[in-house]
Amino acid sequence: GEKKLAKIVGATNVNHNPATLEEYAGDMSFVKPIKPDYVVKPRNAKDIDKLVNLAKETLTPLVPVSSGAPHFRGDTTPGIGGAVIVDLSGMKKIIRVDRMNRVAMVEPGVTFAELIPAVAREGLRLNMPLLPRKSKSVIGSMLEREPVVMPKYHWDISDPLACVEVIFGTGEMFRTGAAAGPGTIEEQWAVGASQKEAAGPAQVSWHRLIQGAQGTMGIVTWASLRCELLPSIEEPFLVSSSQLDKLLELVHWLTRLQLVNECFILNNINLAAIMAKKFPDDYQDIKDSLPPWTLFFNIAGYEYLPEKRVSYQIKDTTDIAQRTGLEPVGAVSRVSALELLKAVQRPSREPYWKLRCQGGCHDIFFITINDKLPGLISAMYDMANEAGYPASDMGVYLQPIVQGVNC
């Protein structure tokens, strides 16, 4: 009971106030709300270890939560009664940022709003999802395999996740990838190792067991993630069209030839929701002025010959766009490519962009191949109309992933 939990995390970190329990009972998804018995806030990995072992003895369901509200996917709410919420949002240590090896190591409570400036001080940046909310945990996002906006640096479906330390449900601590050893983490650092290789130990990619498991296999106490260099010059572009297949053809070549960093397609609803400053007036004006589909991409130069690199890449992208009958521009209607670039390199401003139009949202993320997209989108619109939901209210976001192999 409460005394045992308080002995592990301290009395001030155990909460069974009815209002607090109500907050954790449900989220913005369609999952049925179930009230937990307690909310506990561990302070470190030792606390988590003790909590998991106590839960093992008492057969208590644990529900790990690392991001702040609002929650959306039903994976932070109890599945049955008698559960204890393990709120990791207070574990905010940025353990290490390694510029040489382009890797960072963080605890579960570290959010995008906190990590972006910390890695920027070392000349690094994150390959991150499109405008995550400020309270979103970096580890939570990686474990959910949220798509990232730079397919050029997305080598594997699990990227940018590298290694994790996890307390499995058996109560055993396990480290995946290069972090497994030999030696402690500190001993590995001493010889120049950086916990960047995700696969292993041995021939098994253990991290894949934990990713997508929604906290059912164990609780992660820290993770390392691959970072990218901060560019010295950036040139963003927009390409709009009513023909999605033309934009997909352009995306295919931009990603295949590795010419661009950020690269994604939004329909006019999502783009207006992101860019509008005032609702509903601004939003409606921008939405009405935009073509149905807009591709955004960004060309970057780094430390060596940045201007030359950017100029040849602009020439190449312009040539490819012309072959597909499209034209990259700096602004479409009231949307500036530079303004959109600044927005997507930070977390979303408040209110969270997906909630601005209607005050609620439900994501249906899936992976497919480019050729099937137009057919799937028209099927989605047909189904929405059949159900009596206006297709004109549906935001669509297409993100090329894993080098543009799929979307």
Q: For residues 32 and 165, state if they share a domain.
A: no
Both 192 and 265 in a single domain?
Answer: no
The answer to the question of residue 284 being in a domain is yes
CB atoms within 10 A of CB 357: 20
The pair of structure tokens assigned to 314 is 């602009």
Q: How far apart are CA 337 and CA 351, in angstroms?
A: 22
254 in any annotated domain? yes
Distance between CA atoms of 248 and 265, rounded to whole angstroms?
9
- The pLDDT assigned to 357 comes to 86
Indicate the residue type of 386: E
| Residues paired with 332 in a beta bridge | 335
The vertex-184 CA angle with 183 and 190, nearest 5°, equals 85
pLDDT at position 306, please? 96
pLDDT of residue 279: 81
* Residue 36 shares a structural domain with residue 137: no
Q: Provide the CATH number for the domain around residue 38.
A: 3.30.43.10
- Residue at a domain's end among 168, 199, 229: 229
Give yes or no: residues 304 and 367 share one domain. yes
Q: Mark which of 87, 120, 155 sits at the end of a domain.
A: 87
- Are 129 and 163 in a shared domain? yes
52 lies in a domain?
yes
> Given this model, what pLDDT does residue 187 score?
95
Last residue of a domain, one of 87, 120, 145: 87
- Structural domain including 49 reads 2-87
Shared domain check, 185 and 108: yes
pLDDT at 8: 93
The Cα-based distances of 27 to 72, 73, 387 in angstroms read 6, 7, 23
Closest-CA residue to 42 (of 79, 78, 83, 89): 89
Answer yes or no: is 98 within a domain: yes
Is 54 part of any domain?
Answer: yes
Q: Are residues 314 and 206 in the same domain?
A: no
Please give the Cα distance from 137 to 305 (Å, whole number).
36
Q: Is 122 left (phi over 0), alpha (psi -120 to 50) or beta?
A: alpha
Residues 106 and 82 in one domain: no
| Separation CA 388–CA 392 (nearest Å) | 12
Domain-located, residue 406: no
> Is 340 found in the same domain as 321?
yes
DSSP H helical ranges for 222-363: 244-256, 268-275, 281-289, 306-323, 337-344
Alpha-carbon radius of gyration of the chain: 22
Same domain? For 239 and 178 the reply is no
CATH number of 303's domain: 3.30.70.3450
What is the C-alpha end-to-end distance of the chain, expressed in Å? 47
pLDDT tens digit at each of 407 positions of the chain: 889 999 999 999 999 999 999 999 998 888 999 999 999 999 999 999 999 999 999 999 999 999 998 999 888 999 999 999 999 999 999 999 999 999 999 999 999 999 999 999 999 999 999 999 999 999 999 999 999 999 999 999 999 999 999 999 999 999 999 999 899 999 999 999 999 999 989 889 999 999 999 889 999 999 999 999 999 999 999 999 999 999 999 999 999 999 999 999 999 999 999 999 888 788 999 999 999 999 999 999 999 999 999 999 999 999 999 999 999 999 999 999 999 999 999 999 989 999 988 888 889 999 999 889 989 999 999 999 999 999 888 999 999 999 999 98
239 lies in the same domain as 162: no
Give how far the C-alpha of residue 43 lies from the chain's centroid of Cα atoms, to the nearest Å: 24
| Count of C-beta atoms within a 10 Å radius of residue 58 | 11
Give just the sign of the alpha carbon dihedral 60, 64, 70, 74.
negative
Q: What pairs with residue 64 in β-bridges?
A: 86
Rounded to whole angstroms, the Cα distance separating 103 from 118 reads 12
Task: Give the Cα separation of 359 and 353 in Å (integer).
Answer: 10
Say which residues have a Cβ less than 8 Å from residue 64's Cβ, sequence separation at least 6: 86, 88, 108, 215, 219, 220
Q: Report the domain count for the chain.
A: 3
Can you give the pLDDT at residue 124? 98
* CATH code of 119's domain: 3.30.465.10
Is 125 inside a domain boundary? yes
- 281 and 295 share a domain? yes
Q: How far apart are CA 64 and CA 138, in angstroms?
A: 14
Rounded CA-CA distance 182/355 in Å is 47
- The pLDDT, as a whole number, for residue 1 is 80
Beta-carbon contacts of 113 under 8 Å, excluding residues fewer than 6 positions away, are: 134, 135, 347
Q: Does residue 176 sit within a domain?
A: yes
What is d(CA 16, CA 6) in angstroms, rounded to the nearest whole number?
12
Decide: 307 and 233 in contact? Cβ < 8 Å. yes
